[in-house]
Structure 1
Amino acid sequence: MKPVTLKQIAGQLNISVSTVSKALKNYPDVSKETKLKVKELAKVLNYQPNAFAVNLRRKESRTIGLIIPEIVHHFFSTIIKGIVNQAEKEGYLVIILQSNESYELEKKQINLLLNQHVDGIIISLANNSTNFDHLNQVVLSKKPLVMFDKIAKLVNCSKVIINDRKAAYTATQHLIDAGCKRIAHFRGSLLPLNSIDRFLGYRKALLDNGLPYDPALVYISECDDTSFEEGKMNTRKLLEDHDDVDGIFISTDLVAIGALTECNKLGVKVPDDIKIIGFSNWFMSKVVSPALSTIDQPGYLMGEMAFKQLYKEITMQKNKESYYPEIIELETKLIVRESTAS
């Protein structure tokens, strides 16, 4: 059933479309009698204003775009919740797109959102995004852009981040304080900035404590998709090649739980034989056996702050006010559980 138009209301009342429009908006130059007739007929016919047309006239769509590497991931799902909850409070809808860690798909999605005239874009980069022309184009087009988690320093926009290097240092230092002297690192993909920073934090903690850094103990993902299976596979390789390792810092809890599972399967006792710490504080990390020590990464808060920053910039732009990119750094904390118990 087609929606009722102003023209239909005007035809039934034998008045102009502009008079109907003014009556519905309570313009003073329309009589009370005409306003009453228009509003009563509009109610009978279940007339609904065309929100898209109204927003187009206002030069806003009341929608934003969100691009994330993957939706079925605890960290990103909590971020989505934080963004959507804040967006609903301000009357915004969120178009959620998944890049599948693909640079080419990410580029297409940026173009799609720009063509849809969204009011702003929030993005966490795909692992293999090394060219940022598509994002710089968003900035050049004066469209508010906020990056979070996986970011590009070369893109001049606001960012919501944690200090990955500091958090990784804390995780590695915890293993050292628990007595580990030969510590491996499953770093995930090679390229994302947060993966690089976590590796650098791990290495610095070793060197600051007088422990040798051995590149053979750093395991890099063979594909962009960090997974449970990757944790199992890396653990098998590690135990075959380095039987003296007594600790592992793993860049994400999903991979760490894969490592725990493989240790249990092979009869390697955690934490007695080897201690394991993950990253992100996925809800599963406290229900596996042994419970996984980890770094708590505030996903929901990151989502909230990303939208709040984007909304601030959208509002300032609408009011013709100047705004400048901001870096919002959120705190992380060490969560100690059974997998690193002394």
Structure 2
Amino acid sequence: MKYIQLLEDLSNAYGAPGFEDDVVAVVKANKGDFTLQEDAMKNLYLNFAELDPNKPTLMLDSHMDEVGFMVQAIDENGLLLMQALGGWTAASAQSQAFMVRTKDMSYVPAVATSKPIHFMSAAERQKPVALEDLKLDIGATSREEVINDFGIEVGQPVVPATKFYVNERNGMMMGKAFDNRLGVAATLAVFNELGPDAVKALPFNLVGAFATQEEVGLRGAKVTTNRVNPQAAIVFEGTPSDDYAKSATLGQGRVKQGPQLRYRDSTYIASDHFNAMIVAASEKAGIHIQKAVRDGGGTNAGSIHTGHNGVPVATLGMPTRYAHTHYLISAYQDFQDTVDLTVAFLKDLTAEDFAFTELKTL
């Protein structure tokens, strides 16, 4: 498990949407000999400084943020009211441990409130808890204590308090933010596997774009796409696994069954031509992939594919159980297969293969 330490460092990093600074630091520490640039939104660009205007450009996309919350208000009892940053359910957040950032950039632990069963009526016990009913308790007793002693103010980010774990026997990983630190790690691993000399020798520019604020509307990818102006893109994602929710016949993203190649979700329809190229590469490399047509959800492909004059995008997902919760489970083998497939695909890609992205006269 060559990249397990990288995956651990990325998973443990705190990075609510708009507050991805810890993730930026991990990417910077693992950029190797490639150039890395940061824009005003904290989006990162790997190898972008080496862009050759005479070559087409392929962008490897991933997003650095994770689902979290923001402190919206502080009540008189010292409890924190929360505003969700990304998709949460109350059932996933209630009674769970979180970390809240202070104004000096440190983090303090908190727990999402839960009314004890002793104080609940029979009707309350049957009623689902709403997300807006939850507050965070850091162990304070007044609003003044929260502000003056803990240094927590309105607008501070909140993230799950979960530590990474790997089962060495079967290669299963458990941690937070696999959506989408798996993708961030995949981009870094692909560049590392190729190396600076091989990347420079490619007949196209290869740029790694690490986007921010995906969980709140694919915002960072709008900026990275405009800046990079790619002719094609591959999106890496930690996609929801359905092996615990659907039968083997209907499942399209099962753990340990290889990368998930997406054909449709609520934000885009994939390029059939580009997807066919990925399928051909998987067959040549002997790497099993899973084909998925999703009813809902979305990735940065939703922003990228309509950028500039239209961008063919392939989405490779690494199946992840229990997405948008504190504890996600994923297989290291699916991560490695995604990296290996992408490296094999890029090595065989030619400048002529980008011809299908050009405007054609009929």
TM-score (norm 2): 0.25
Greater RCO (Cα-Cα under 8 Å, separation 6 or more): 2
Higher helix share: 1
